[in-house]
Each structure stands twice: as C-alpha cells, then as structure tokens.
Amino acid sequence: MGFDRHEAHIEPAGYVKLRLVELRYLLPRRLMQRVGVQSGSIFVSGRNLAVWSNFSQGDPEGDVYGGQNAGGQFFRWFPGPQTRSWVVGLRTDF
C-alpha cells in the first residue's frame, strides 16, 4: 500500500461521547390556546458536546479519509473534529 504499518500507529479505540442532549419544556395548554395553538414546547438541543478518549488526535471519529480509501485506510493525518452545534426552537401543533 506504500505505507509502513507498524505498532507506533496503534492507539486505544475506546471512547465515550456526549453526542446529543435535548431539553424540552412543554408550554401550558391554556397559554397556547389563547394564541390559537393546540400545544407547544420550547427546546434546546446540543450535538457533539464532549468526548473522553485517550486518542492522541482528539476525537476518534474525526477522520479525513473515513477509513475508506486504500491509501489512507487506518491512517489519520490532521483529522478535523466533529462539529459542535446548538439549536434552540419552538414546536407547535395547530
């Protein structure tokens, strides 16, 4: 494959990730009915909030090759971290 595969590239594979958290508050029905809505809720959602790992390059899931092509399989060069995102919203039923 053109790359020297040796033990220096072997790293711990275990990790724990806080991938998704969503908090939701159901709004009182009376309040929603006053504005012509059957029900509603306010929510806050966070994705990829934390990762705990002994992996030397940060997030073990960050991989520029995705482990798919033969030349870069199982190798990681400058992996980009998973993006962290927050969403705040209002859900309603009419």
Which amino acid belongs to residue 23? L
Query: Is the torsion defined by CA of 54, 59, 65, 66 positive or negative?
Result: positive
Distance separating alpha carbons of residues 19 and 45, to the nearest angstrom: 11
pTM here? Answer: 0.65
pLDDT at 28: 94
Residue reference for tokens 């790359």 = 3
pLDDT at 44: 98
Query: Is the torsion defined by CA of 28, 34, 35, 36 positive or negative?
Result: positive
- Residue-wise pLDDT tens digits, 11-40: 777 889 999 999 999 999 999 989 999 999
pLDDT at 39: 93
